[in-house]
Structure 1
Amino acid sequence: MKYHLLFILLLATCASAAAQQRRPPNVRGPVVMRADQMRPQLKPGENRPDVAPSYPGGQPALSEFIQQNVKTPQALLDQQKSGIVFTSFNVGEDGRLTNVKVEKGFTPEADAEALRVLALMPAWKPATRKGKPVAVDVTLAVPVGHSGELIVEKGKVKFE
């Protein structure tokens, strides 16, 4: 009797371990490209571009554009605050920015300023997959704050 009970307990343990190993099917969302995480791939996936989208002139030109066009809102100047607004948008097959939105805001004034600057941005060079342009989602950090704290280093915008 003890052996039967032990055998049933062992079967129940194995069944629960097998059930935990089952995983839901792999559901893929949209591809999100971040400038600091792009690397060439030997075998890109079906939905990944071979060449990432790029701002005309590259990262240094993008940093310069942001520096020249971001105007610190008066509310941030009064409080002596600075921060980063994380935005996302879609670079279409024609290079135009669409679906521009704030992913992680700083203040309402800073968020509005980041969206204003993105609206001024020229068309990007679109991403390509097998030589054909494809639409890709991009996440971009837009620094807003004191211009004295804004530093461009090696083509990257950052705060110190």
Structure 2
Amino acid sequence: MIKSFYLLFIVLIPMISSAQIQGENEVYLKGDRIEAKFNGGGIEKFQEFVKGNFNYSKVKKPGKMVAAFTIDVDGSVKKIKLVEYIDAGSAAEMIRVLNLCPKWEPAKRNGKAISIEIKYPMVFKRT
């Protein structure tokens, strides 16, 4: 009885440990990861899109806003949430802009598309 419990313990612990290696703090044990691309470029192309579509009159005071969203395996923007925001108006505007976002080229690992989460900060200063 104790031997079978010990064997079960030895088999289950590695399974439980490997099941927890995922999400935001994912550890890549095999293969190279290629970052997601926006309109053929990196995050700077995405910044151009946001700046071109964001209505800055919605921001009433200086501060920082951080949006988090997932680039799905098909390149679509999903699971939009604001981790930090200034006020409801600026938050709603950021969500509106992210919903306008065209599809990205998804990130890849070992040549296979994977979903990733991006955290995108914006700082607003008084001019």
Relative to the length of structure 1, the TM-score reads 0.57
Partner of 2:75: 95
Partner of 1:128: 108
Once the two structures are superposed, what CA deviation does each residue of 1:84-116 show, in whole Å capped at 9, x if it has no partner? 321111111110011111111211111111111
Q: Gaps (5+ residues) in structure 1?
A: 1-24, 34-42, 150-160
Structure 1 position 72, deviation (Å): 2.1
Q: If you compute each CA radius of gyration, which structure gives the higher value, 1 or 2?
A: 1
Partner of 2:12: none
The count of corresponding residues between Structure 1 and Structure 2 is 109
Alpha-carbon distance between aligned partners in 2 of 1:132 and 1:116, rounded to the nearest angstrom = 30
Once the two structures are superposed, what CA deviation does each residue of 1:51-71 show, in whole Å capped at 9, x if it has no partner? 121222323322211111111
| Residue identity (%) | 22
- How has the CA–CA distance of structure 1 residues 137 and 49 changed in structure 2, closer, same or farther, with 3 Å as cutoff? farther
Residue of 53, 68, 77 corresponding to 2:52: 68
Partner of 2:23: 30
- How has the CA–CA distance of structure 1 residues 74 and 65 changed in structure 2, closer, same or farther, with 3 Å as cutoff? closer
Alpha-carbon distance between aligned partners in 2 of 1:32 and 1:54, rounded to the nearest angstrom = 20
Alpha-carbon distance between aligned partners in 2 of 1:115 and 1:29, rounded to the nearest angstrom = 26
- How has the CA–CA distance of structure 1 residues 32 and 55 changed in structure 2, closer, same or farther, with 3 Å as cutoff? farther
Alpha-carbon distance between aligned partners in 2 of 1:98 and 1:52, rounded to the nearest angstrom = 17
Q: Gaps (5+ residues) in structure 2?
A: 1-15
Alpha-carbon distance between aligned partners in 2 of 1:74 and 1:88, rounded to the nearest angstrom = 19
The letter of the residue matching 1:51 is: I
Alpha-carbon distance between aligned partners in 2 of 1:75 and 1:83, rounded to the nearest angstrom = 9
Structure with a larger share of its residues in helix: 2
- How has the CA–CA distance of structure 1 residues 73 and 29 changed in structure 2, closer, same or farther, with 3 Å as cutoff? farther
- Counterpart contact for 2:68–2:120, Cα < 8 Å: yes
- Counterpart contact for 1:70–1:144, Cα < 8 Å: no
RMSD: 2.8
Relative to the length of structure 2, the TM-score reads 0.70
- Counterpart contact for 1:73–1:109, Cα < 8 Å: no
Q: Secondary structure at the match of 1:44?
A: coil
The letter of the residue matching 1:67 is: K
- Counterpart contact for 2:58–2:93, Cα < 8 Å: no
- Counterpart contact for 1:51–1:127, Cα < 8 Å: yes
